[in-house]
Structure 1
Amino acid sequence: MEEKEYSKIYRIIHWAIAVSLVLLLATIFMRLTWMNKTNVANIIQDYLSGTDQVLSQKQLIVLAKKIRQPMWNWHIYIGYVLVGLFSIRFILPIFGYIKYQNPLRKNLTPKLRFQKGLYIIFYICIIISLATGLIIEFGPKTIKSLMEEIHVLSIYYLIPFIVIHWAGVFIAEFSDQKGIVSRMISGTHNED
Protein backbone atom coordinates (compact mmCIF):
# COMPACT_ATOMS: atom_id res chain seq x y z
CA MET A 1 0.00 0.00 0.00
CA GLU A 2 1.19 3.53 -0.77
CA GLU A 3 2.58 5.40 2.24
CA LYS A 4 0.83 8.68 2.83
CA GLU A 5 2.89 11.76 3.73
CA TYR A 6 1.48 14.15 6.30
CA SER A 7 2.46 17.81 6.06
CA LYS A 8 3.52 19.73 9.15
CA ILE A 9 0.36 21.89 9.08
CA TYR A 10 -1.82 18.79 8.78
CA ARG A 11 -0.07 17.14 11.74
CA ILE A 12 -0.30 20.29 13.90
CA ILE A 13 -4.02 20.67 13.19
CA HIS A 14 -4.63 16.94 13.75
CA TRP A 15 -2.90 16.86 17.14
CA ALA A 16 -4.35 20.19 18.28
CA ILE A 17 -7.84 18.89 17.49
CA ALA A 18 -7.08 15.57 19.21
CA VAL A 19 -5.83 17.25 22.40
CA SER A 20 -8.79 19.66 22.39
CA LEU A 21 -11.29 16.80 22.04
CA VAL A 22 -9.67 14.90 24.91
CA LEU A 23 -9.80 18.03 27.10
CA LEU A 24 -13.47 18.54 26.19
CA LEU A 25 -14.21 14.95 27.14
CA ALA A 26 -12.40 15.51 30.45
CA THR A 27 -14.65 18.47 31.29
CA ILE A 28 -17.74 16.46 30.32
CA PHE A 29 -16.56 13.50 32.41
CA MET A 30 -15.93 15.74 35.43
CA ARG A 31 -19.32 17.41 35.07
CA LEU A 32 -21.08 14.05 34.90
CA THR A 33 -19.16 12.46 37.78
CA TRP A 34 -17.48 13.97 40.85
CA MET A 35 -18.11 17.59 39.78
CA ASN A 36 -21.81 16.84 39.30
CA LYS A 37 -23.83 19.59 41.00
CA THR A 38 -25.64 17.12 43.24
CA ASN A 39 -22.39 15.47 44.36
CA VAL A 40 -20.80 18.85 45.11
CA ALA A 41 -23.97 19.95 46.96
CA ASN A 42 -23.83 16.77 49.05
CA ILE A 43 -20.19 17.45 49.95
CA ILE A 44 -21.11 20.96 51.06
CA GLN A 45 -24.09 19.59 53.01
CA ASP A 46 -21.88 17.01 54.74
CA TYR A 47 -19.44 19.74 55.72
CA LEU A 48 -22.18 22.05 56.98
CA SER A 49 -23.78 19.27 59.06
CA GLY A 50 -20.86 19.63 61.48
CA THR A 51 -21.52 23.36 61.88
CA ASP A 52 -24.52 25.39 62.89
CA GLN A 53 -25.04 26.63 59.32
CA VAL A 54 -27.95 25.41 57.24
CA LEU A 55 -28.61 25.83 53.51
CA SER A 56 -31.63 24.67 51.54
CA GLN A 57 -31.15 22.13 48.75
CA LYS A 58 -31.70 24.92 46.22
CA GLN A 59 -28.99 27.06 47.86
CA LEU A 60 -26.64 24.07 47.93
CA ILE A 61 -27.15 23.47 44.20
CA VAL A 62 -26.54 27.17 43.41
CA LEU A 63 -23.32 27.08 45.46
CA ALA A 64 -22.25 23.81 43.81
CA LYS A 65 -22.77 25.34 40.35
CA LYS A 66 -20.64 28.34 41.34
CA ILE A 67 -17.86 26.06 42.57
CA ARG A 68 -17.73 24.06 39.34
CA GLN A 69 -18.22 27.03 36.99
CA PRO A 70 -14.47 27.69 36.43
CA MET A 71 -14.05 24.06 35.30
CA TRP A 72 -17.00 24.40 32.96
CA ASN A 73 -15.59 27.65 31.56
CA TRP A 74 -12.69 25.56 30.25
CA HIS A 75 -15.21 23.50 28.26
CA ILE A 76 -16.41 26.71 26.63
CA TYR A 77 -12.87 28.03 25.95
CA ILE A 78 -11.80 24.71 24.42
CA GLY A 79 -14.96 24.82 22.30
CA TYR A 80 -13.83 28.20 20.94
CA VAL A 81 -10.40 26.73 20.18
CA LEU A 82 -12.08 23.87 18.31
CA VAL A 83 -14.18 26.30 16.27
CA GLY A 84 -10.94 27.98 15.22
CA LEU A 85 -9.11 24.71 14.53
CA PHE A 86 -11.94 23.25 12.46
CA SER A 87 -12.32 26.53 10.58
CA ILE A 88 -8.64 26.30 9.68
CA ARG A 89 -9.06 22.58 8.88
CA PHE A 90 -11.84 23.38 6.40
CA ILE A 91 -10.09 26.40 4.86
CA LEU A 92 -6.67 24.77 4.31
CA PRO A 93 -7.81 22.58 1.39
CA ILE A 94 -8.66 25.75 -0.54
CA PHE A 95 -4.95 26.59 -0.42
CA GLY A 96 -3.84 23.02 -1.16
CA TYR A 97 -2.36 22.21 2.27
CA ILE A 98 -4.85 19.46 3.09
CA LYS A 99 -7.06 17.38 0.82
CA TYR A 100 -10.81 17.07 1.29
CA GLN A 101 -12.02 13.59 2.17
CA ASN A 102 -14.03 12.39 -0.83
CA PRO A 103 -15.65 9.00 -0.23
CA LEU A 104 -17.20 9.05 -3.72
CA ARG A 105 -13.96 8.93 -5.74
CA LYS A 106 -14.11 6.07 -8.23
CA ASN A 107 -10.73 4.49 -7.56
CA LEU A 108 -11.23 3.92 -3.82
CA THR A 109 -11.32 0.51 -2.19
CA PRO A 110 -14.36 -0.24 -0.04
CA LYS A 111 -12.12 0.12 3.04
CA LEU A 112 -10.97 3.63 2.02
CA ARG A 113 -14.50 4.59 1.03
CA PHE A 114 -15.69 3.54 4.51
CA GLN A 115 -12.84 5.45 6.22
CA LYS A 116 -13.43 8.64 4.27
CA GLY A 117 -17.20 8.37 4.72
CA LEU A 118 -16.74 7.94 8.46
CA TYR A 119 -14.67 11.13 8.59
CA ILE A 120 -17.37 13.03 6.69
CA ILE A 121 -19.95 11.86 9.25
CA PHE A 122 -17.58 12.89 12.06
CA TYR A 123 -17.07 16.35 10.53
CA ILE A 124 -20.84 16.83 10.18
CA CYS A 125 -21.34 15.83 13.83
CA ILE A 126 -18.53 18.15 14.96
CA ILE A 127 -20.03 21.04 12.98
CA ILE A 128 -23.40 20.40 14.65
CA SER A 129 -21.76 20.27 18.10
CA LEU A 130 -19.76 23.44 17.55
CA ALA A 131 -22.73 25.29 16.04
CA THR A 132 -25.06 24.30 18.88
CA GLY A 133 -22.40 25.28 21.42
CA LEU A 134 -22.07 28.70 19.83
CA ILE A 135 -25.85 29.11 19.71
CA ILE A 136 -26.05 28.18 23.43
CA GLU A 137 -23.51 30.90 24.20
CA PHE A 138 -24.57 33.63 21.76
CA GLY A 139 -27.93 32.69 20.30
CA PRO A 140 -31.46 33.56 21.31
CA LYS A 141 -32.50 32.29 24.73
CA THR A 142 -35.75 30.94 23.25
CA ILE A 143 -33.90 28.03 21.59
CA LYS A 144 -31.16 27.55 24.20
CA SER A 145 -32.87 24.51 25.76
CA LEU A 146 -33.26 22.77 22.40
CA MET A 147 -29.64 23.53 21.47
CA GLU A 148 -28.46 22.16 24.82
CA GLU A 149 -30.36 18.91 24.20
CA ILE A 150 -28.75 18.52 20.78
CA HIS A 151 -25.33 19.55 22.11
CA VAL A 152 -25.45 16.94 24.90
CA LEU A 153 -25.88 14.22 22.28
CA SER A 154 -22.30 14.96 21.16
CA ILE A 155 -20.91 12.49 23.64
CA TYR A 156 -22.73 9.68 21.87
CA TYR A 157 -20.75 10.10 18.65
CA LEU A 158 -17.48 11.47 20.01
CA ILE A 159 -16.48 8.55 22.20
CA PRO A 160 -17.32 5.89 19.56
CA PHE A 161 -15.45 7.90 16.92
CA ILE A 162 -12.33 8.10 19.11
CA VAL A 163 -12.51 4.36 19.80
CA ILE A 164 -12.97 3.56 16.09
CA HIS A 165 -10.18 5.98 15.15
CA TRP A 166 -7.70 4.43 17.58
CA ALA A 167 -8.73 0.90 16.61
CA GLY A 168 -8.17 1.81 12.97
CA VAL A 169 -4.77 3.31 13.78
CA PHE A 170 -3.66 0.18 15.63
CA ILE A 171 -4.96 -2.13 12.91
CA ALA A 172 -3.18 -0.03 10.25
CA GLU A 173 0.03 0.13 12.29
CA PHE A 174 0.18 -3.63 12.68
CA SER A 175 -0.91 -4.49 9.16
CA ASP A 176 -0.56 -2.72 5.81
CA GLN A 177 0.33 0.82 6.97
CA LYS A 178 3.22 0.20 9.34
CA GLY A 179 4.66 3.52 10.50
CA ILE A 180 1.42 5.51 10.35
CA VAL A 181 1.88 6.71 13.94
CA SER A 182 5.45 7.89 13.37
CA ARG A 183 4.38 9.68 10.17
CA MET A 184 1.60 11.47 12.09
CA ILE A 185 4.13 12.56 14.71
CA SER A 186 7.25 13.37 12.71
CA GLY A 187 6.01 13.46 9.13
CA THR A 188 8.38 10.69 8.06
CA HIS A 189 8.76 6.98 8.63
CA ASN A 190 12.10 5.27 9.02
CA GLU A 191 12.29 1.53 8.51
CA ASP A 192 14.84 -0.15 10.82
Structure 2
Amino acid sequence: MINSLLPWYNDKIMFLFLVIYMAEQLHFPKLHRLIHWLLAFSILFILLTIFLRSTWMDKTHIAAIIQSGFNSDSLSITQQQAITIAKSIRNEMFQWHYIVGYFVGVLVFLRVYYSKKVGLFMPNPFKKNSLHDRLQGLLYIAFYLFLASIVITGLVIHFLGHDFILYAQCKTFHKLSWWGILGFMLIHIGGVIFANGRDNKDTITKMING
Protein backbone atom coordinates (compact mmCIF):
# COMPACT_ATOMS: atom_id res chain seq x y z
CA MET A 1 0.00 0.00 0.00
CA ILE A 2 2.83 2.36 0.89
CA ASN A 3 4.55 1.64 -2.44
CA SER A 4 1.39 2.65 -4.26
CA LEU A 5 1.38 5.95 -2.40
CA LEU A 6 4.99 6.83 -3.21
CA PRO A 7 4.27 8.41 -6.62
CA TRP A 8 1.78 10.75 -4.97
CA TYR A 9 4.23 12.23 -2.51
CA ASN A 10 7.49 13.56 -3.84
CA ASP A 11 8.23 15.34 -0.60
CA LYS A 12 9.77 12.62 1.60
CA ILE A 13 9.19 14.52 4.82
CA MET A 14 5.48 14.88 4.17
CA PHE A 15 5.31 11.23 3.14
CA LEU A 16 6.92 10.21 6.45
CA PHE A 17 4.43 12.49 8.19
CA LEU A 18 1.57 10.62 6.50
CA VAL A 19 2.99 7.20 7.39
CA ILE A 20 3.22 8.18 11.07
CA TYR A 21 -0.45 9.17 11.09
CA MET A 22 -1.42 5.93 9.35
CA ALA A 23 0.47 4.02 12.05
CA GLU A 24 -1.49 5.85 14.72
CA GLN A 25 -4.72 4.73 12.99
CA LEU A 26 -6.44 8.03 13.65
CA HIS A 27 -9.61 8.93 11.85
CA PHE A 28 -8.61 12.58 11.95
CA PRO A 29 -4.83 13.32 12.21
CA LYS A 30 -3.61 15.63 14.95
CA LEU A 31 -2.72 18.47 12.60
CA HIS A 32 -6.13 18.25 10.94
CA ARG A 33 -7.88 18.47 14.31
CA LEU A 34 -5.62 21.29 15.49
CA ILE A 35 -6.35 23.44 12.43
CA HIS A 36 -10.06 22.59 12.64
CA TRP A 37 -10.46 23.68 16.28
CA LEU A 38 -8.21 26.73 16.01
CA LEU A 39 -10.25 27.85 13.01
CA ALA A 40 -13.54 27.14 14.79
CA PHE A 41 -12.66 29.09 17.94
CA SER A 42 -11.10 31.94 15.93
CA ILE A 43 -14.27 32.32 13.87
CA LEU A 44 -16.44 32.23 17.00
CA PHE A 45 -14.26 34.92 18.60
CA ILE A 46 -14.53 37.17 15.54
CA LEU A 47 -18.29 36.67 15.46
CA LEU A 48 -18.33 37.74 19.12
CA THR A 49 -16.53 40.99 18.25
CA ILE A 50 -19.06 41.62 15.48
CA PHE A 51 -21.93 40.95 17.90
CA LEU A 52 -20.47 43.31 20.51
CA ARG A 53 -19.88 46.02 17.91
CA SER A 54 -23.50 45.78 16.75
CA THR A 55 -25.13 45.62 20.21
CA TRP A 56 -23.66 46.69 23.56
CA MET A 57 -20.72 48.51 22.00
CA ASP A 58 -22.66 50.20 19.22
CA LYS A 59 -21.36 53.76 18.87
CA THR A 60 -24.75 55.44 19.31
CA HIS A 61 -25.52 53.29 22.36
CA ILE A 62 -22.21 54.12 24.05
CA ALA A 63 -22.53 57.78 23.03
CA ALA A 64 -25.92 57.99 24.75
CA ILE A 65 -24.41 56.57 27.95
CA ILE A 66 -21.54 59.07 27.78
CA GLN A 67 -23.92 62.01 27.28
CA SER A 68 -26.07 60.79 30.16
CA GLY A 69 -23.01 60.65 32.41
CA PHE A 70 -21.98 64.18 31.49
CA ASN A 71 -25.51 65.49 32.00
CA SER A 72 -25.68 63.96 35.49
CA ASP A 73 -22.62 66.04 36.41
CA SER A 74 -24.21 69.19 34.95
CA LEU A 75 -21.80 69.09 31.99
CA SER A 76 -22.68 69.18 28.32
CA ILE A 77 -21.24 67.39 25.32
CA THR A 78 -22.49 67.21 21.74
CA GLN A 79 -23.66 63.96 20.22
CA GLN A 80 -20.80 64.03 17.70
CA GLN A 81 -18.25 64.44 20.49
CA ALA A 82 -19.85 61.57 22.38
CA ILE A 83 -19.75 59.38 19.26
CA THR A 84 -16.06 60.18 18.76
CA ILE A 85 -15.33 59.06 22.32
CA ALA A 86 -17.53 55.99 21.84
CA LYS A 87 -15.60 54.98 18.70
CA SER A 88 -12.28 55.25 20.54
CA ILE A 89 -13.63 52.99 23.30
CA ARG A 90 -15.05 50.48 20.83
CA ASN A 91 -11.88 50.40 18.74
CA GLU A 92 -9.94 49.02 21.72
CA MET A 93 -12.15 45.95 21.59
CA PHE A 94 -12.37 45.72 17.80
CA GLN A 95 -8.57 45.61 17.40
CA TRP A 96 -8.88 41.95 18.33
CA HIS A 97 -11.16 41.49 15.32
CA TYR A 98 -8.20 42.40 13.09
CA ILE A 99 -5.61 40.43 15.07
CA VAL A 100 -7.61 37.20 15.06
CA GLY A 101 -8.55 37.90 11.44
CA TYR A 102 -4.85 37.74 10.49
CA PHE A 103 -4.62 34.45 12.37
CA VAL A 104 -7.57 33.07 10.40
CA GLY A 105 -5.77 34.01 7.19
CA VAL A 106 -2.72 32.02 8.33
CA LEU A 107 -4.92 29.03 9.26
CA VAL A 108 -6.63 29.06 5.86
CA PHE A 109 -3.22 29.04 4.16
CA LEU A 110 -2.06 26.14 6.37
CA ARG A 111 -5.30 24.24 5.68
CA VAL A 112 -4.89 24.57 1.92
CA TYR A 113 -1.20 23.57 2.09
CA TYR A 114 -2.00 20.66 4.39
CA SER A 115 -4.82 19.43 2.12
CA LYS A 116 -2.55 19.63 -0.91
CA LYS A 117 0.16 17.56 0.77
CA VAL A 118 -1.87 15.01 2.71
CA GLY A 119 -5.18 14.95 0.87
CA LEU A 120 -8.67 16.38 1.26
CA PHE A 121 -10.71 15.25 4.26
CA MET A 122 -14.03 15.77 2.52
CA PRO A 123 -15.98 14.09 -0.30
CA ASN A 124 -15.16 15.15 -3.84
CA PRO A 125 -18.33 16.81 -5.19
CA PHE A 126 -17.17 16.32 -8.79
CA LYS A 127 -16.99 12.52 -8.63
CA LYS A 128 -19.84 10.05 -8.91
CA ASN A 129 -20.54 9.94 -5.20
CA SER A 130 -23.88 9.93 -3.43
CA LEU A 131 -25.97 13.09 -3.41
CA HIS A 132 -25.18 13.52 0.29
CA ASP A 133 -21.41 13.36 -0.32
CA ARG A 134 -21.63 15.78 -3.25
CA LEU A 135 -23.60 18.30 -1.23
CA GLN A 136 -21.19 17.93 1.66
CA GLY A 137 -18.23 18.53 -0.63
CA LEU A 138 -19.85 21.59 -2.19
CA LEU A 139 -20.65 22.94 1.26
CA TYR A 140 -16.99 22.73 2.30
CA ILE A 141 -15.87 24.41 -0.92
CA ALA A 142 -18.36 27.22 -0.28
CA PHE A 143 -17.04 27.52 3.30
CA TYR A 144 -13.44 28.03 2.18
CA LEU A 145 -14.50 30.43 -0.57
CA PHE A 146 -16.36 32.48 2.04
CA LEU A 147 -13.27 32.41 4.28
CA ALA A 148 -11.01 33.49 1.42
CA SER A 149 -13.43 36.33 0.63
CA ILE A 150 -13.43 37.43 4.29
CA VAL A 151 -9.64 37.43 4.52
CA ILE A 152 -9.10 39.30 1.22
CA THR A 153 -11.83 41.91 1.70
CA GLY A 154 -10.86 42.33 5.36
CA LEU A 155 -7.27 43.14 4.41
CA VAL A 156 -8.47 45.61 1.76
CA ILE A 157 -10.83 47.34 4.20
CA HIS A 158 -8.24 47.52 6.98
CA PHE A 159 -5.25 48.69 4.96
CA LEU A 160 -6.76 50.70 2.08
CA GLY A 161 -9.69 52.19 3.99
CA HIS A 162 -12.35 54.56 2.70
CA ASP A 163 -10.09 56.00 0.02
CA PHE A 164 -10.15 52.73 -1.92
CA ILE A 165 -12.45 53.03 -4.93
CA LEU A 166 -14.11 49.65 -4.24
CA TYR A 167 -14.32 50.12 -0.46
CA ALA A 168 -18.13 49.93 -0.34
CA GLN A 169 -18.23 46.78 -2.48
CA CYS A 170 -15.52 45.11 -0.37
CA LYS A 171 -17.40 45.93 2.81
CA THR A 172 -20.60 44.46 1.36
CA PHE A 173 -18.84 41.25 0.29
CA HIS A 174 -17.17 41.06 3.71
CA LYS A 175 -20.51 41.21 5.52
CA LEU A 176 -22.24 38.78 3.14
CA SER A 177 -19.37 36.30 3.49
CA TRP A 178 -19.80 36.33 7.26
CA TRP A 179 -23.45 35.44 6.80
CA GLY A 180 -22.28 32.55 4.62
CA ILE A 181 -19.89 31.38 7.36
CA LEU A 182 -22.66 31.60 9.96
CA GLY A 183 -24.97 29.57 7.72
CA PHE A 184 -22.28 26.93 7.18
CA MET A 185 -21.65 26.64 10.92
CA LEU A 186 -25.33 26.08 11.67
CA ILE A 187 -25.63 23.43 8.92
CA HIS A 188 -22.33 21.82 9.95
CA ILE A 189 -23.18 21.59 13.65
CA GLY A 190 -26.68 20.32 12.87
CA GLY A 191 -25.31 17.74 10.44
CA VAL A 192 -22.70 16.48 12.92
CA ILE A 193 -25.29 16.14 15.70
CA PHE A 194 -27.65 14.34 13.32
CA ALA A 195 -24.91 11.97 12.08
CA ASN A 196 -23.67 11.35 15.61
CA GLY A 197 -27.15 10.30 16.65
CA ARG A 198 -27.51 7.81 13.80
CA ASP A 199 -24.74 5.85 12.10
CA ASN A 200 -21.56 7.57 13.30
CA LYS A 201 -22.00 7.72 17.06
CA ASP A 202 -18.32 8.60 17.59
CA THR A 203 -18.07 11.45 15.03
CA ILE A 204 -17.63 14.14 17.67
CA THR A 205 -15.25 11.99 19.75
CA LYS A 206 -13.04 11.34 16.72
CA MET A 207 -12.74 15.04 15.96
CA ILE A 208 -11.64 15.66 19.56
CA ASN A 209 -9.49 12.62 20.35
CA GLY A 210 -8.67 11.27 16.90
Partner residue, 1:25: 47
Name the % identity.
35
Name 1:184's counterpart in structure 2. 207
What is the deviation of 1:100? 6.3
SS in 1 for 2:72: coil
- Number of aligned residue pairs: 184
Q: Aligned partners of 1:135, 1:156: CA distance in 2, in Å?
A: 19
CA distance in 1, matches of 2:168, 2:108: 25
Match of 2:187 in 1: 164
Larger radius of gyration: 2
1:78 aligns with 2:100: yes
Q: Secondary structure at the match of 1:49?
A: helix
Letter in 1 for 2:176: L
Deviation per residue, 1:50-95 (Å, 9 max, x gap):
1232211111111100001111101111110000000000111222
1:9 and 1:98 mapped to 2: Cα distance? 13
**Structure with more of its chain in helix, by fraction:** 2
Match of 1:122 in 2: 143
CA offset at residue 101 of structure 1? 5.1
Q: For residues 142 and 110 of structure 1, what CA distance do their matches in structure 2 show?
A: 42
2:131 corresponding residue in structure 1: 110
The structure whose RCO (Cα within 8 Å, separation 6+) is larger is 1
What is the deviation of 1:149?
2.1
Shift, 1:119, TM fit: 0.8
Across the aligned residues of Structure 1 and Structure 2, the Cα RMSD in angstroms comes to: 1.8
In structure 2, stretches of 5+ residues that fail to align are: 1-25
